Amino acid sequence: MSQPIVYVDTSEVRPGRLKELKTAMNDLARFVQANEPQLLAYNVYFTDDGTRMSVLHINPDSASLERHMKVAGPKFPPIGEFIRLLAIDVYGRPDDWLVEELRQKAKMLGSGTNACTTFTQDLHACIRLSFSSATPSSGAKTSGARGS
């Protein structure tokens, strides 16, 4: 049985680049929402002072995160001018190929290959998700969820 993969990355926002970053992340969230219906959630969060950003997505399985890297991956490099990626945390059991791809993403966006950590789940748990369809707004939070 496939296990869900939860992905969380944290970045430092480069000084004076918050507005541009929010625009770029809004565009990325819209792209993801339109092109990756398999994602259960894709959310972007900013700290109140605008110095940090976190991206969280929930994938039904490792193949979904692999698809995200292939489909949205070409849109990541331009975002690098607005951030310095600090960490990527992956919860679940991603394939080895995917872990290497995430390490390359971390290196490309500024934190080096050691910034990717995977956490495996050996205890029993459950995930119950219920989302309504959401369209990203130009506000501080960008949300996209799998529609009905």
Where do the structural domains in the chain lie, given as residue ranges? 5-145
- Tell which residue, 76, 70, 82, 66, has the closest CA to residue 107: 76
Report DSSP state, residue 14. Answer: P
Distances (CA, A) of 73 to 68, 70, 104, 106, 109: 7, 5, 11, 12, 12
The matching CATH number, chosen from 1.20.120.330, 3.30.70.100, 3.40.640.10, 2.40.50.140, for 5-145 is: 3.30.70.100
pLDDT tens digits, 80-95? 999 999 888 888 888 8
pLDDT above 70 (res 147): no
Q: What is the value of pTM for the model shown?
A: 0.78
pLDDT tens digits, 31-42? 999 999 999 999
